[in-house]
Amino acid sequence: MGRVSNKVAVVTGGALGIGRAACVMLGAEGASVAVTDILDEQGREVAELINSSGGRAAYWHLEVTDEAQIKSAFSEIEKQFGPISILVNNAGITGANKPTHELTQEEWDHVMNVNVKGVFLCTKHVIGSMRRAGSGSIINLSSIYGLVSAPDIPPYHASKGAVRLMTKTDALLYAKDKIRANSIHPAYIWTPLVEKFLKSQGDVTELRKKLDTLHPLGHVGEPDDIAYGIVYLASDESKFVTGSELVIDGGYTCR
Ligand code: NAP
């Protein structure tokens, strides 16, 4: 309890999956949590859950590709809770699953806009607030697909590779401001994103079994497996950690 007390956290894509788990755990550990998403009903429910469990949270509609919306939401969050010291750049999409030669420019751009430009814009607009807070932690959701490849979803791989290196550049640029930046690299985690992806590929139960076998620990992960890593990187326990890659993958990338 209290590992991130007195800190203000913004989580993008906080209504479902990993973002939701991060919001709930950050709230339980004492942060004031700005739950943001494009799914308003589910996002509000997450904020209500944190408040009804004795934490402090509110919901903002935030589309991560919309710079004006980010600017105004971050300014309102700071007014309500104080300067932001934790940003979890979590919102992300899988996008089109086609080989490179079949992809359209629109399909490519869509993934890059959400997964890469979204991280850039949210980071851009949080720096001022983190400087006012006196320190900060930026946590970017990359993926095992930002470290190793697989013969699928080419724009997703490109986007998560970009996020990995953007993190290191920002770690260097803002170290002097005591702002840390780290990336997290989950393997398959059972969330609506993965379920939706499997539904588009065939029988979900059979495909989940196949996914399980890709992980040496024998199964896909759950959102809390990643939320624990997020809380560590958000807290002062990781005060000497910046530019690092936290791989949480059940052994997927050992091979
Ligand atoms: P999820 O279950 O789909 O949840 C992501 C949330 O972000 C959803 O509420 C989604 O809304 C929202 N979102 C999508 N586009 C957005 C936008 N443009 N602006 C704001 N919010 C937006 O995803 P997840 O599995 O928890 O994944 C979270 C992050 O972890 C992503 O960056 C993902 O790439 C990364 N990751 C996930 C896994 C995994 O196996 N689950 C593995 C490695 C990395 P909609 O539902 O309307 O899209």
Q: Is the pLDDT of residue 1 over 90?
A: no
**Segment holding 101, helix H or strand E:** none
- The per-residue pLDDT for 49 is 98
How far, in Å, is the centroid of ligand 1 from the Cα of 140? Answer: 12
The confidence band for 192, taking pLDDT boundaries of 50, 70 and 90, is very high
Angle at 234 between CA 50 and CA 84, to 5 degrees: 75
Contact 77, 71 (CB under 8 A): no
- The per-residue pLDDT for 85 is 98
**Mean pLDDT across 95-106:** 97
Polymer length of the chain: 255
Q: Is the pLDDT of residue 46 over 90?
A: yes
**Mean pLDDT across 121-142:** 99
The closest residue, in CA terms, to atom 35 on ligand 1 is 141
**Mean pLDDT across 90-107:** 97
Contact 73, 14 (CB under 8 A): no
Strand, helix or coil for residue 9: strand
- The per-residue pLDDT for 43 is 98
**Mean pLDDT across 223-246:** 98
Give the position of tokens 């998403």. 37
Q: Cα–Cα distance between 180 and 137 in angstroms, integer?
A: 5
Give the position of tokens 């509110």. 58
| Distances, alpha carbon 201 to alpha carbons 37, 87, 98, 188, 206, in Å | 26, 33, 11, 15, 11
Q: How many percent of the chain have pLDDT more than 70?
A: 100
Domain ranges of the chain: 8-186+222-245, 191-220
191, 194, 208, 233, best to mutate for ligand 1 pocket (most atoms within 8 Å of CB): 191
With a CB cutoff of 8 Å and minimum separation 6, the contacts of 143 are 156, 160, 185, 186
Give the model confidence (pLDDT) of 158-191 as tens digits.
999 999 999 999 999 999 999 999 999 999 999 9
How far, in Å, is the centroid of ligand 1 from the Cα of 159? Answer: 13
Which of the residues are catalytic? Answer: 156
Please work out whether the CB of residue 143 comes within 6 Å of at least one atom of ligand 1.
yes
Please work out whether the CB of residue 30 comes within 6 Å of at least one atom of ligand 1.
no
Q: Cα–Cα distance between 161 and 148 in angstroms, integer?
A: 9
Please work out whether the CB of residue 141 comes within 6 Å of at least one atom of ligand 1.
yes
Question: How many C-beta atoms lie closer than 10 Å to residue 160's C-beta?
Answer: 24
How far, in Å, is the centroid of ligand 1 from the Cα of 127? Answer: 23
CATH class for domain 8-186+222-245? Answer: alpha beta
Measure the N-to-C terminal CA separation of the chain; round to a whole number of Å: 36
Give the model confidence (pLDDT) of 65-88 as tens digits.
999 999 999 999 999 999 999 999
Q: Is the pLDDT of residue 107 over 90?
A: yes
The closest residue, in CA terms, to atom 44 on ligand 1 is 143
- Report residue 152 as tokens: 């699928």
Q: Is the pLDDT of residue 137 over 90?
A: yes
How far, in Å, is the centroid of ligand 1 from the Cα of 22? Answer: 12
**Is this model's pTM higher than 0.95 or not?**
yes
- The per-residue pLDDT for 191 is 97
